[in-house]
Amino acid sequence: MNRILFGDNQFFGVNHSSEERARAQAIAFKDDAAILSTLDIALQEGLDTFMCTTHERMITINSMIRCSPEKYKDLKVYPCLPYAHKYANAVAELGIPGTIKQYLPGNFFSTAIKGGMAFISKDHIAMMELLIDAELKMFKGIQTPVIFLQNTITDLLLGLGMSDMLKAFYDHIHKKYDAEAGFITMNMPRLLSVLEDVGIYNPIICTSVNVDGFRMSGGKELYERTLKEKRVRLIAMQILSGGAASVEEAVKYVCALPNVRSILFGASSKAHIRQTVALIRKNDQVIERSNGQISGAKNIFY
């Protein structure tokens, strides 16, 4: 994984600090070309990894990327699934059986036996595999070396004690897609412990990490201790504490933590992209000079 990852919140009207700004961003990126143009800026700044949800607009974006294979030959995409709003809307309109039918991969009739038996017998793992395959169809032909389970599902399974489903997701991603499985969560210490219990060691976990303890279940101190003592490849998100922290303060704090392998951020302008990238690289260089190595890479196990 690269040190800096580019996210998609700004493209789809998600902003944790301001609904007004979220609406403005949604308007600014109402055209797919605007999204691709901002991705191009990120690539020009050396950010060749895009972490995104399986929002339906990504179908068109991915098609545009596939149309320029030479231009995007180095682009890696980290899909995050499922896109919960899509399924919630479908269930409300079509019901659960109708939703499953709608999102089965490929020809419905070719998978109806497996899907039908899964539904009837309540084989949740088989159903999950079918829906994963459906979600990932839009990324065919695009590099997806890491595939994430969204926190809405990760934390639900965590709360229900369904660790077998977490392991099933991990296994399916490895076996079918020859990719790494990642998990997004709002409770990194608890998830890491559960993953280790089912034999998933040194996992890739994306979670909120920031100087204010924003959305860090268990508190900032527990996260800091876990990062110091455990084996984990962590991606730090929401580093600005939902808008409460300054960029300088936020970046300085996250860069100094051990086992933070990557930093995820989203931005809608060239100036903001360039500023954040420069700050991360500057802080990494300062730590490298003082410690002899970049914090966040020194405790990585492959």
For 37-56, what is each residue's pLDDT tens digit?
999 999 999 999 999 999 99
184 part of a folded domain? yes
Q: Among 68-82, 83-97, 161-175, 192-206, name the one with the lowest average pLDDT.
A: 83-97
Q: Extract the tokens encoding 256.
A: 């100094």
pLDDT at residue 37 in the model: 96
189 part of a folded domain? yes
pLDDT at residue 118 in the model: 52
- The number of domains in the chain is 1
Answer yes or no: is pLDDT of 173 > 80: yes
119 part of a folded domain? no
Answer yes or no: is pLDDT of 109 > 70: no
Looking at the DSSP bridge assignments, the partners of residue 183 are 149, 205
Domain ranges, residue 32: 4-82+141-291
Q: What is the pLDDT of residues 56-108, one digit of tens each?
A: 999 999 999 999 999 999 999 999 999 877 777 777 787 766 776 676 655 54
More confident residue, 229 or 19: 229
What is the rounded (10 degree) CA torsion for 12, 18, 20, 25? Answer: -30
pLDDT at residue 124 in the model: 82
Q: With H, G, I as helix, E, B as strand and everything else as coil, classify residue 150.
A: coil
pLDDT at residue 120 in the model: 46
Q: Name the band, by pLDDT with cuts 50, 70 and 90, for residue 251.
A: very high
More confident residue, 222 or 290: 222
Summarize the confidence of residues 162-183 as an average pLDDT. Answer: 97
Residue 15, φ and ψ in degrees, nearest 5: -145, 120
pLDDT at residue 83 in the model: 85
97 part of a folded domain? no
Summarize the confidence of residues 206-211 as an average pLDDT. Answer: 97
Answer yes or no: is pLDDT of 149 > 90: yes
Mean pLDDT rounded to a whole number for the chain? 87
pTM: 0.87
Angle between helices 32-44 and 57-66 (to 10 degrees): 50
101 part of a folded domain? no
263: domain CATH number is: 3.20.20.100
Contacts of 245 (CB under 8 A, 6+ apart): 210, 211, 212, 239, 253
Q: Name the band, by pLDDT with cuts 50, 70 and 90, for residue 299.
A: very low
115 part of a folded domain? no
C-alpha distance across the termini of the chain, in Å: 11
225 part of a folded domain? yes
Summarize the confidence of residues 134-161 as an average pLDDT. Answer: 96
The span from the CA of 51 to the CA of 78, in Å, is: 4
213 part of a folded domain? yes
pLDDT at residue 298 in the model: 41
Q: Is 264 in contact with 206 (CB distance < 8 Å)?
A: yes
